Amino acid sequence: MRRELMNMNTTIRIAKVTCEVYKSLAPLAIASLRKQNIEHVHAHSRRAVVLREQSTFSFLPTITGLDEDPAEVLEFYLPWSQAEQVLKTVVREVNLSAPGRGSIYAEEVQLRNPEGVDFINSNVTLSGDAQPELILTELASINCVVQRGQGNEIARHALEAGTNVPAISFGLGTGLRNKLGLIRVTIPAEKELVNVIVHAQDRDEIMNALIQAGRLDQPGNGFIGASPVGFGVLNPKTFRGKQRYSASMEQVITAIDQLKTGTEWRKKTVSLQRSDVYLKKSFLHDLLNMTLICNEGKSSDIVNAAISAGAGGATISKIKYSTMTASKHAVSPAREAISMGVSPKSVEAIIHAIEAAGAFGSDTACIVETKPLPLACTYLGK
């Protein structure tokens, strides 16, 4: 008899909280999570990208380059009802309300755990003195998968479109690449994953700009998708250069956000012009983002099973699992995350297929995370 998998979303709402801070601030963030009894954390590295003013003669236009800094990403699951309090505590203790330190945000997800393992932090110690930080709502997470070496160009276009600080990590592409026939010989498996959190009202405009910048609707150029983010505190310090006034632009924007108690005043009014047609022609709608997290070395069998059940392309990246307390289960600290955009109709078939491939056994310990992917774009063939 097939074992029924745990779907925690049938009883409580689950939040996935992502805390992204510069490397030097990671110990502060970890200490805050430990104090709040966040036991189960997945971590990985990214590089945060900002614009940098380059020195020129005063009579010449300003030239901007890119600066990169190592960042640490901490991801964990907990009941939705506790997410805002935990987030506010981390913001206060790591001072994330100050521009240039990092971001933290929460997404609502569905989660299925492997047998005998519960990755949901349900015994959180909530702080009673969390300050009423300004928490942004109605956000969206835009994720691009591009060829290695193209990530900085996508990040530059995002910054020039007025986003918060984008971050880039590495991964391996599989699945869709294998369907491209002879052209795949010229397409390396190594990928760069670009993530940026934007205000929901700007999502379509920014996605369209990134699609055109990376030609992401052309064969082998990559994938882009957007999913909703419930709330968070973002890093707006996207530019480094001479400060000509007593306050930086980031400080001014943060102050206006606080005065307006939100970011609606920032809404762009620029017409998309010809990109309206581009959007209608290129976008996929109402998919799900499925992330499978398993012990290192087990991803190949899981990806093959998922593709046989209807999944398209997949991107695999390395992550680390850590537990803040003595662990009673044998989850490997070396983990792999498999990310796919799938049709909602394919989810159960994919889960059954990966279960048959041993995904939920103790030696693999696979988590299945799903969340809405209302907009996406990639090459669909002729």
Pairing of strands 239-240, 40-54: parallel
* Residue 1 placed within a domain: no
pLDDT at 277: 47
The sign of the torsion formed by the CA atoms of 97, 133, 142, 5 equals: positive
CA distance 332 to 324: 14
pLDDT at 9: 41
The DSSP symbol for 120 reads B
Residue 265 identity: W
Task: Count Cβ atoms below 10 Å from residue 212 Cβ, excluding itself.
Answer: 15
CA distance 257 to 100: 16
For 322-366, the three-class secondary structure string (H helix, E strand, C coil) is EECCCCCCCCCCEEEEEEEEECHHHHHHHHHHHHHCCCCCCCCCC
CA distance 311 to 342: 6
Total domains in the chain come to: 1
The DSSP symbol for 211 reads H
Q: 368: left (phi > 0), else alpha (psi -120 to 50), else beta?
A: beta
Domain that holds residue 144: 6-243+252-378
CA distance 295 to 249: 44
* Residue 89 placed within a domain: yes
CA distance 366 to 359: 5
- Note down pLDDT in tens along the chain; length 382 residues: 344 444 434 446 899 999 999 999 999 999 999 999 999 999 999 999 998 876 655 555 565 789 899 999 999 999 999 999 999 999 999 999 888 999 999 999 999 877 667 799 989 988 766 566 678 999 999 999 999 999 999 999 999 888 999 999 999 988 655 555 544 545 668 999 999 999 998 999 999 999 999 999 888 788 999 999 999 999 988 777 665 555 566 667 666 766 666 666 666 544 444 445 455 557 899 999 999 999 999 999 999 999 999 888 899 999 999 987 655 556 889 999 999 999 999 999 999 999 999 999 888 999 999 999 999 998 876 6
Length of the chain measured in residues: 382
CB-based contact 107:197 (threshold 8 Å)? no
Closest CA to 186 of 225, 218, 144: 218
* Residue 174 placed within a domain: yes
Take residue 285 and report the two structure tokens written for it.
């709608």
CA distance 166 to 152: 9
* Residue 256 placed within a domain: yes
